Amino acid sequence: MFIGHYGIGFAAKKLTFPKAKPCKTPSLGTLFLAAQFLDILWPVFILFGIEKVTIEPTAKAFQTLHFIYYPFSHSLIAAVIWALLFGLIYYAFRKDINYSIVLALVVLSHWILDLISHFPDLQLVPGSNIKVGLSLWNSLTFIIIVEGFIFLFGVYFYFTSTKAINKKGQILLWALLIFLSITYVMDIIGPPPPSIKAITISGFSQWLIIAWGYWIDRNRTGIL
């Protein structure tokens, strides 16, 4: 999935409002970072040859990448460990157990959405021969419906839990929504990645969206 993960990031903002007492809540950028944390680690592991992927140019949309080996970023046990680590690091800085739990669950949500969409290529633990995946990628129609549903509801929850404090808060949010939608469509109708290097560059470009999330939240406030 792609926009589905960002949909979870948007939706999680609803869980941070309202608060009984004034408190600095996780930014949308932090929620995006949590939602895509496994996919942010993955290109790093690919770059250093720790994990492996190949490109299948003749495959259908959403199936052009063959995930050969990625247990350190996308096995179930790895996802649980990264989720706990993410939550612990947030707690170390913010000392808020509730938000730490929310962020850990957002990290773990990535694996759950991948379980729904991927072919059986997700290991439960590194070294295991058992691989899982519900293969929603087999149907272009259903993957678009499911992912679009998650994204739209996440955006709805974000809109109902925040409000713009200036024009930037409106423009930046709508610009991101348009950008994510266009990127998603291009992933569907566009050609497969030309090289593994292009995949890693695309993976690192997610930091742009994360920074965008921080920028948006600086110009919006929660609805209490």
pLDDT, tens digit (0-9, with 9 covering 90-100), for 133-189: 999 998 999 999 999 999 999 999 999 999 999 999 999 999 999 999 999 999 888
* Contact predicate 131/146, CB 8 Å: no
pLDDT on residue 189 = 86
Distances (CA, A) of 198 to 5, 130, 181: 21, 30, 20
Q: Which value, to the nearest 10 degrees, does the dihedral of the CA atoms of residues 173, 176, 180, 183 take?
A: 160
Would you state the pLDDT for residue 81?
98
Q: Are 203 and 42 in contact (CB under 8 A)?
A: yes
Residue 131 has pLDDT above 50, yes or no: yes
194 pLDDT tier (thresholds 50, 70, 90): confident
**Amino acid letter, residue 131:** K
State the alpha helices, DSSP H only, in the chain: 3-12, 28-35, 37-47, 71-74, 76-94, 97-117, 140-161, 167-189, 196-204, 206-217
Half-sphere exposure of 72 (CA within 13 A, CB side): 12
Specify whether the CB–CB gap between 46 and 196 falls below 8 A.
Answer: yes
First to last CA, the chain: 32
Amino acid in position 31: L
Q: Which residue has the higher pLDDT, 7 or 16?
A: 7
């720790």: which residue's tokens? 50
Report if pTM > 0.85: yes
Q: What pLDDT was estimated at residue 68?
A: 94
Mean pLDDT, residues 6-34 = 82
Identity at 170, one-letter amino acid code: Q
Structural domain boundaries in the chain: 3-222
Amino acid letter, residue 34: A
